[in-house]
């Protein structure tokens, strides 16, 4: 029976190779006559006479009878008539436990130029999200080691959270703290569209040697073609899915999903899509849920995900921020005014929310968190009166209590980058500050 099945599989193998020829290159786009292929297929463009090499490209569309390709690398040396070979399959990357501790590019190749370890399996980068009916509910918290988050914005195991902030407010530093301190089995970190200088800085300074030992870092810098930046996000998600399907609790971090959207806009405009909402093409709003819905829980394991979202001019309602916020299970807002005061992590507790906290935290914990929010809100609402001396002590019991607690609340919200707190310590600190809320 096994021999018969093997013979059937051999009969089904397509032994023909399909080729086409490059007709023209316009900007990011390569147009070729042939080969026969489908959207998303990987093609190989053979170039050079003396020094032959191959450029990988992906089928992104069709124009009449021609195939539109976009390269994963630069289009240098491609000439009219260059041979285009169809592989008839999408891009795959190699994944396995031996990859832990590595820094790879968007195609899964080691960034330091070394060879991939042996024993890895090939997995496609583009996969479907888990069946909604096979997603177990989020029922337990996961420790991230940041006091403010564990106590006031508790994250569930398998939750997806957006970190919304302008540039230079501490997103990378916060991600590094989470990567070092979390109790998850493994970190998968995607650095998409980062400056080349910041990559090594993040790995050595924010993540550190201890964090890298239990992490896989996928890097697609800002100078790389748009398709590489998109594939970096999809490759990192595929790596996280592989380990989730092995029964692990994975912590995935992507910095940033905005740059993925910008890369998709470049691709969309290049193939002729009309710009719609603030210059973004329709495919941008189609690709975001496809990417973000892949993380979360399934019947085997979980992926807890943090996605950073760059907001232009600190506008939290710009199109990408608004779309991502509607897909995810919570959002943390980093406030520039808090960063300017030296309050790190600069999370604005009053503008942030974890949508699953009430389901995974105890009632006394939830009530204590609500009381702290109330005291902080009361203080900020009366801050102008307090600062100019117009408020008289004794006029309001709530304001008096908020003024008394404010210095302790700010001290509670601050945390050094190398300071590690367990979830139990964070919750006990909250109870010591505000009471159990019963």
From 70, 90, 110, the end of a domain falls on 90
pLDDT in tens, the chain (438 residues): 467 666 666 566 556 788 899 999 888 789 999 888 999 899 999 987 655 788 899 998 888 889 999 988 877 778 888 899 999 889 899 999 999 999 999 999 999 888 898 889 999 999 999 999 989 999 999 999 999 999 999 999 999 999 998 888 888 889 999 999 999 999 999 999 988 888 988 998 888 888 899 999 999 999 898 999 999 999 999 999 999 999 999 999 998 899 999 999 998 888 888 888 788 999 999 999 999 999 999 999 999 999 999 887 666 778 999 999 999 999 999 998 899 888 999 999 999 999 999 999 999 999 999 999 999 999 999 888 877 888 888 788 888 998 999 999 999 999 998 898 999 999 999 999 988 655
Are 77 and 137 members of one domain?
no
- Whats the size of the chain, residue-wise? 438
pLDDT of residue 313: 64
Asked whether residue 4 is assigned to any structural domain, the reply reads: no
Are 249 and 264 members of one domain?
yes
Are 380 and 282 members of one domain?
no
Instruction: Say if residues 184 and 329 touch (Cβ distance below 8 Å).
Output: no
Burial class, 10, CB count within 10 angstroms (exposed 0-12 / middle 13-18 / buried 19+): exposed
From 356, 385, 410, the end of a domain falls on 356
Taking CA atoms, 9 is separated from 2, 12, 298, 322, 326, in Å, by: 11, 5, 31, 48, 45
pLDDT of residue 394: 79
**CATH number of the domain within which 420 lies:** 1.20.1270.330
Domain housing 120? 93-356
Are 130 and 155 members of one domain?
yes
Q: Quote the radius of gyration of the chain (alpha carbons, Å).
A: 25
Angle at 161 between CA 429 and CA 312, to 5 degrees: 110
CA–CA separation, 293 and 286 (whole Å): 12
Are 328 and 183 members of one domain?
yes
pTM over 0.95: no
């Amino acid at each position: 029976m096994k021999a018969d099945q093997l013979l059937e599989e051999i009969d089904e193998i397509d032994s023909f190779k399909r080729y086409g020829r490059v007709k023209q290159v316009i900007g990011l786009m390569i147009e070729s006559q042939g080969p026969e292929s489908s959207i998303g297929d990987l093609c190989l463009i053979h170039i050079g006479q003396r020094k032959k090499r191959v450029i990988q490209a992906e089928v992104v569309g069709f124009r009449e009878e021609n195939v539109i390709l976009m390269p994963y690398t630069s289009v240098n040396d491609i000439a009219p008539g260059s041979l285009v070979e169809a592989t008839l399959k999408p891009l795959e990357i190699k994944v396995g436990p031996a990859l832990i501790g590595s820094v790879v590019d968007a195609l899964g190749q080691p960034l330091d130029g070394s060879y991939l370890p042996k024993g890895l399996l090939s997995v496609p980068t583009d996969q479907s999200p888990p069946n909604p009916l096979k997603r177990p509910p989020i029922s337990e918290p996961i420790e991230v080691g940041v006091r403010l988050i564990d106590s006031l914005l508790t994250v569930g195991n398998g939750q997806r959270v957006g970190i919304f902030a302008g540039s230079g407010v501490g997103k990378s530093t916060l991600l590094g703290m989470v990567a070092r301190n979390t109790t998850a089995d493994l970190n998968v970190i995607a650095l998409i569209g980062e400056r080349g200088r910041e990559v090594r800085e993040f790995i050595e300074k924010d993540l550190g040697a201890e964090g890298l030992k239990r992490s896989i870092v996928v890097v697609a810098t800002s100078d790389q073609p748009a398709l590489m930046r998109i594939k970096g996000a999809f490759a990192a998600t595929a790596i996280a899915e592989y380990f989730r399907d092995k029964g692990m609790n994975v912590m995935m971090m992507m910095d940033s999903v905005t740059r993925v959207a910008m890369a998709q806009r470049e691709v969309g405009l290049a193939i002729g899509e009309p710009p719609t909402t603030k210059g973004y093409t329709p495919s941008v709003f189609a690709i975001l849920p496809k990417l973000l819905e892949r993380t979360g829980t399934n019947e085997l394991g979980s992926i807890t995900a943090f996605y950073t979202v760059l907001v232009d001019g600190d506008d939290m309602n710009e199109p990408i921020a608004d779309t991502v916020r509607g897909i995810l299970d919570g959002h943390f807002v980093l406030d520039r005014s808090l960063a300017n005061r030296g309050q790190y992590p600069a999370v604005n507790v009053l503008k942030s929310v974890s949508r699953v906290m009430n389901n995974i935290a105890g009632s006394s914990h939830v009530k204590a968190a609500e009381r702290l929010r109330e005291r902080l809100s009361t203080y900020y609402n009366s801050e102008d009166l307090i600062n100019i001396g117009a408020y008289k002590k004794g006029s309001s019991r709530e304001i008096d209590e908020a003024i008394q607690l404010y210095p302790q609340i700010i001290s509670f919200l601050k945390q050094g980058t190398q300071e590690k707190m367990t979830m139990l310590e964070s919750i006990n600190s909250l109870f010591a500050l505000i009471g159990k809320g019963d």
